[in-house]
Amino acid sequence: MYIFPTSNHSNSSKAEPKVPRPIIALHGVSKRYRTAAGEYTVLKDIDLELEAGEFVSIVGKSGSGKTTLLNMITGIDRPSAGQVWVNQTALHTLNEGQMARWRGRNLGIVFQFFQLLPTLSVLENILLPMDFCGKVPYRQRGERALYLLELVGLADQAYKLPLALSGGQQQRVAISRALANDPPVLIADEPTGNLDSKTAEDVFELFHNLAAQGKSVVIVTHDAGLATRTHRSARIADGEIIEAALPQPLFAPLLTGD
């Protein structure tokens, strides 16, 4: 069983140094589904740790298990075996109500197809998770929503309906909504898959900036070229992680020949 390290200095006058804890930790995670044809294993004994402030990509072909892996991290699905810890919380032990409350405070999720509510304005879409969670004081919510729209260059679109915006603009609104409650972890499933190259580049740069500010960003993508530009990448195939790249600062000199 995986247990996060804890200090034990009750008999010592000197405090031991704190041990950094991964903000995301999966240990021995497997996921199986029962079908008419029998049991089907989607994830096989996954071990993965991510640190705060990392920008990490999970790469794999369609059907490789990458979206199921993302669902483990977000608590949208539960492991058949193993443990999932995010921001020092054991997600595999939470019930549905606890999970919903925890997710609202700790995770921002960006979906491939935006998932904006079409009858609400852009501003109202960003206010909604604040109203649901209650983490941001009521009087500050409008100001924060406008700030987040300004962050992605869309403050002038605040009172339009989502369908009046381009796909790239809707994706940037979705990122603003994911940041509404200032979560420590941002998760994005194929965030640039439906965008033109210029907009995809802008979105990717935004993720880099958020990581530089201390947020942990995890994206799922089938684009291996895009993955090479994140701090680390993990390649998944047939439900197993078959390759985990070193952080960029460690392998960059090898690429330059220095």
* Domain definitions of the chain by residue range: 24-256
Query: How confident is the model over 50-84, as pLDDT tens digits?
Result: 998 999 999 988 888 988 999 999 999 999 999 99
In the predicted model, residues of the chain with pLDDT beneath 70 are 1-20, 244-258
Quick one: pLDDT at residue 7?
A: 33
Residues 23/180, Cβ–Cβ less than 8 Å: no
Quick one: pLDDT at residue 251?
A: 35
Integer angstrom CA distances of residue 150 from 78, 153, 212: 36, 5, 18
Structure tokens at 207: 């993720």
pTM: 0.81
Instruction: Return the bridge partners of 250, or none.
Output: none
Q: What angle do CA 208, 172, 235 make, to 5 degrees?
A: 50
Quick one: pLDDT at residue 46?
A: 93
In CATH terms, 24-256 corresponds, of 3.90.1310.10, 3.40.640.10, 3.50.50.60, 3.40.50.300, to 3.40.50.300
**Residue that the structure tokens 């669902």 belong to:** 71
Quick one: pLDDT at residue 246?
A: 52
SS3 readout for 73-97 = HHCCCCCCEEEEEECCEEHHHCCHH
Query: How confident is the model over 83-126, as pLDDT tens digits?
Result: 999 999 999 999 999 998 899 899 999 987 889 999 999 999 99
